[in-house]
Amino acid sequence: MPGNSGVAPLAWGRRFLMCPPEHFGVLYEINPWMHQEVTVDLDRARAQWEGLVGVLRQAGAEVETLEPRPGLPDLVFTANGGVVNGRTFVPSRFRHPERRGEEPHYAGWFAANGYDVATLPPTVSHEGAGDALPFGRVFVSGYRYRSDAAAHAELSRLVGAPVRAIELADPRYYHLDLTFCPLDGRRALVAPDAWDAYGRKVVEALVPEPLALEPDETAAFCANSVVVGTTVVMPACPPRVGRQLEAWGFDVVEAPVGEFQKAGGACRCLTLALDVELPGPAPSPRP
Ligand code: ARG
């Protein structure tokens, strides 16, 4: 096991957009976790959501809220709202019609809050930070189930940053953020079993110190964690994962979100980082 060489905290993850679960529920089935016959306990969902907000604030993050809307039960999963880089916001284009009604609410919030809203062509799908997470100087973007590979060139142009594409290979892990969680400048939680062989190579080349999750850890939504400085906020932390994170110098805090897992999402899905700003390309030497 690699030793504790100190955490070089992420430059982002101190400000998040979240949406209270007033209208949350499992009202349709668009991923293998969702079953309409399962009922959501809305009081428990509210308490879990408040618990997550409390833990994030305790760790030093600010939380902004998006107004919940009736008829949009998945609006709580703000990670899917779009991709942020600096003052630019690229709203998602959802794969499923059930979620398309969310698009104008995100675009509206970001426009009202001073971001430049840059839109993808209507012919491609991309589900925002659920599928595109910053690591170092690039966005790692998962595609297949919800986002199209064809979205990446345009996404890269709009956000002004390179995009490394990873093909997802397990329908249970239909978004990248169920399989990949940047921890700091060198480390990430990874679930390579959920990617195709080329995707595994891309991450191997990018992440010097990965913590590879076991299949049961991935299924427990471990990778769907929120990192605030040296604090890793996880839906549940298996002892093996906790030991490695602590050896690296992270604190782990559990924020159970079981009601939201009934819809196929956990801690990361419930947040959208507002302070992502990639450092930009390495400066080329003056001629
Ligand atoms: N029910 C939602 C969907 O299937 C869950 C979204 C989870 N979000 C995420 N970033 N993984 O679209």
Name the pLDDT band for 5 (thresholds 50, 70, 90): low
Tell me if residue 269 is catalytic.
yes
Quote the ligand 1 centre to 77 CA distance (angstroms). Answer: 6
Q: Which atom, in ligand 1's list, is nearest to the CA of 26? A: 1
Which one from 126, 175, 237, 267 is the annotated catalytic residue?
Answer: 175
Least confident of 3-7, 88-92, 245-249: 3-7
Q: In degrees rounded to 5, what are phi and psi of residue 54?
A: -60, -45
Q: Which atom, in ligand 1's list, is nearest to the CA of 268? A: 10
Quote the ligand 1 centre to 113 CA distance (angstroms). Answer: 24
Q: Which amino acid is at 185?
A: G
Please report which residue ranges of the chain form alpha helices under DSSP H. Answer: 42-58, 97-100, 103-112, 152-159, 197-206, 215-219, 239-248, 258-261
Residue 233 pLDDT exceeds 90: yes
Q: Which tokens go with 244?
A: 């490695």
Contact (CB, 8 A) for 93 and 139: no
Using a cut of 0.75, tell me whether the model's pTM lies above it: yes
Q: Which tokens go with 80?
A: 């899917």
Quote the ligand 1 centre to 176 CA distance (angstroms). Answer: 10
Name the pLDDT band for 282 (thresholds 50, 70, 90): low
| Inter-CA distances, 122 with 107, 166, 226, Å | 14, 22, 30
Task: State the average pLDDT over residues 231-239.
Answer: 98
Q: Which amino acid is at 22?
A: E
For residue 240, the Cα-to-chain-centroid distance in whole angstroms is: 23
Alpha-carbon gap, residue 144 to 207, rounded angstroms? 22
Residue 285 pLDDT exceeds 80: no
Tell me if residue 175 is catalytic.
yes
Task: State the average pLDDT over residues 205-231.
Answer: 98
Which residues does a 6 A CB cutoff place in the pocket of ligand 1?
A: 30-31, 34, 74, 77, 79-80, 99, 130, 175, 177-178, 263-265, 269
Task: State the average pLDDT over residues 224-235.
Answer: 98
Task: State the average pLDDT over residues 206-234.
Answer: 98
Alpha-carbon gap, residue 144 to 211, rounded angstroms? 24
Q: Which tokens go with 128?
A: 């925002």
pLDDT at 283: 65
Quote the ligand 1 centre to 139 CA distance (angstroms). Answer: 19
Residue 154 pLDDT exceeds 60: yes
Alpha-carbon gap, residue 89 to 197, rounded angstroms? 31
Alpha-carbon gap, residue 122 to 116, rounded angstroms? 18
